[in-house]
Amino acid sequence: MDITPSEIFRLVDEEGRSCHTTAVNLFEYRTRFEKLSAGYDAVIHINIGSGFSSCHQNAKLAAQELYNVFTVDSFNLCLGSGYLVHTAALLARQGANVQEILGTVRDMIPRIEASFVVDQLDYLRRGGRCSALTEQGARLLQIRPCIEVVKNRMVVGKKYRGSFSRCLQHYMEERFQDRRDIDCRRIYLANAACPPDIQAMVKETVDRYALFEETVECEAGCTISNHCGPNTVGIFFMRK
């Protein structure tokens, strides 16, 4: 709420600090839900996947005694969850009722495709998500892995080798080339402290392989940035 990804990177890289994430606790959820439920017909809260955090469990417990608060496990993170939030907000604006919104969002969950490429593994190592040996080997060999969200957990996909820009181009080419199952209404592109030329290249490459009606570009939030580090690119879209 009061820190940015760039500040996290400065604390870690320049000051040698260690930053950690923690789930929103039960009391905070209950306080927020009680305030919102009193002023609205219904509250729909879409959580980061339960496989990544205990946020959903805490939110679910906090909502139990409030008849008009509904919690949704996104089974995803970053803009994989954001895709659902955006869709729910658009439906609410159009006048859809709670059950219609919940039905649409839950139908989308297994069709969201989320993946990202990290430039360096030292932040993942600090967070205990890879070993020091793996991080050192990746740095020496210029290996940049693709991390995919599969069934509410992160798995390592293909490992690319070379410059970050070159790896991103191969990653996006394999993500989109010869695909017939992509819902081309909307795509979300996330980046963590990527320079403007990398951001522009990512968008141009996506446009070359898939003609999406809408492209939403966002900076990754503090939670994702803290685990993945600077120069991370994520792509989020939906299958038909």
Total domains in the chain come to 2
SS3 content of the chain, % helix, strand, coil (to 5): 45, 25, 30
Residues 54 and 136 reside in one and the same domain: no
Question: For 85-102, what is each residue's pLDDT tens digit?
Answer: 999 999 999 999 999 999
Distance from the Cα of residue 13 to its chain's centroid: 23
Has residue 111 got a pLDDT over 80? yes
Residues 81 and 151 reside in one and the same domain: no
Percent of the chain with pLDDT over 70: 93
Between the CA of residue 74 and those of 8, 57, 117, 179, 238, what are the distances in Å?
A: 26, 12, 21, 24, 13
Domain span at 36:
26-110
Which pairing describes strands 182-192 and 232-239: parallel, antiparallel, or unpaired?
Answer: antiparallel
Question: For 118-146, what is each residue's pLDDT tens digit?
Answer: 998 777 767 666 655 465 556 666 889 89
CATH number, domain with residue 83: 3.40.50.10170
Residues 150 and 193 reside in one and the same domain: yes
Has residue 68 got a pLDDT over 90? yes
Instruction: Tokens 């990754």: give the residue.
Output: 220
Residues 235 and 140 reside in one and the same domain: yes
In a domain, 153, yes or no: yes
